């Protein structure tokens, strides 16, 4: 069980690495960009992802000897009614307009939703693709967002070369529908991924003894 979950984690990790590379090319070529240092979306209780996307970071935490400790922290956070945002968020104060600044403590292992937000397109009504842009981007620089949308529209014939948040979600989900369809608030998704990974590692240890 453990090795197959680890193998699944490796496949997910490889897919996320490809998605991150494509997202970075998209940002470079379309001109869409996050506000420098912005961490506003890492705060959101509304940000959801799947345990599947968080399997690689769950195994990292276990391999670093932090799995149980993180699980206990996540269980504690779950009992606190006030949301504190993503557990990996390292806060760095606020911008003059009050928006949160910060950095991701696990940037190289961030899940698909974090890779794609502000760095991909989605299918809008009428079959047209539009950029996945947030309120901060639209408020900061609507002209840049419009230009990025025009860049995407100009590539309608070449849609496969424009990263798509929805297509990538479907392709990830196909790897493990049980874990890939379960959309949860970030910290809950990490808790679910850690529980599965810890169980898998415990099973592996039992078998080896
Ligand atoms: S997607 Fe928007 S809210 Fe999130 S970090 Fe980028 S600019 Fe900030
Ligand atoms: S994983 Fe990183 S980028 Fe994603 S919500 Fe958490 S802190 Fe933000």
Give yes or no for residue 150 having a pLDDT over 70.
yes
Average pLDDT over residues 79-92: 84
Average pLDDT over the chain, rounded to an integer: 89
Average pLDDT over residues 49-75: 96
Q: What local confidence, expressed as pLDDT, does residue 1 receive?
A: 44
Q: What local confidence, expressed as pLDDT, does residue 84 receive?
A: 73
Query: Own/partner pairs for 83-89, CB < 8 Å, 24+ apart?
Result: 83/43, 83/45, 85/42, 85/43, 85/44, 85/45, 86/42, 86/43, 86/47, 86/186, 86/187, 87/186, 87/187, 87/190, 88/42, 89/39, 89/42, 89/43
Task: Residue 58: count other Cβ atoms within 10 Å of its Cβ.
Answer: 28
Which is more confidently placed, 187 or 81? 187
Q: What local confidence, expressed as pLDDT, does residue 70 receive?
A: 97
- Could you tell me how many helices (H) and strands (E) the chain has, helices first? 9, 6
pTM of the model: 0.90
Give the number of the atom of ligand 2 that is nearest the alpha carbon of residue 114. 4
- From 44, 136, 140, the mutation candidate for ligand 1 (largest count of ligand atoms within 8 A of CB) is 136
Give yes or no for residue 141 having a pLDDT over 70.
yes
Which listed ligand is nearest to 132 at the C-alpha?
1
Q: What local confidence, expressed as pLDDT, does residue 80 receive?
A: 78
Tell the residue number behind the tokens 């453990």, with chain if given. 2
Q: What local confidence, expressed as pLDDT, does residue 83 receive?
A: 63
Separation of alpha carbons 124 and 122, rounded Å: 6
């Amino acid at each position: 069980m453990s090795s197959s979950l680890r193998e699944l984690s490796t496949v997910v990790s490889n897919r996320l690495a490809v998605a991150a590379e494509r997202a970075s090319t998209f940002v470079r070529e379309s001109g869409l960009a996050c506000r420098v240092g912005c961490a506003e979306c890492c705060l959101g209780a509304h940000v959801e992802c799947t345990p599947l996307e968080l399997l690689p970071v769950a195994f990292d935490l276990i391999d670093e000897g932090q799995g149980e400790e993180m699980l206990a922290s996540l269980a504690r956070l779950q009992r606190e009614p006030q949301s504190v945002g993503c557990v990996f968020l390292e806060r760095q104060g606020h911008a003059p307009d009050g928006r949160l600044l910060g950095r991701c403590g696990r940037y190289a292992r961030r899940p698909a939703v974090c890779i794609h937000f502000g760095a991909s397109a989605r299918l809008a009504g009428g079959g047209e693709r539009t950029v996945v842009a947030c309120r901060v981007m639209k408020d900061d620089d609507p002209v840049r967002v419009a230009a990025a949308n025009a860049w995407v529209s100009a590539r309608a014939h070449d849609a496969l070369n424009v990263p798509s948040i929805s297509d990538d979600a479907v392709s990830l989900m196909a790897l493990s529908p049980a874990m890939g369809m379960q959309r949860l608030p970030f910290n809950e998704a990490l808790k679910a991924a850690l529980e599965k990974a810890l169980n898998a590692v415990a099973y592996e240890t039992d078998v080896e003894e």
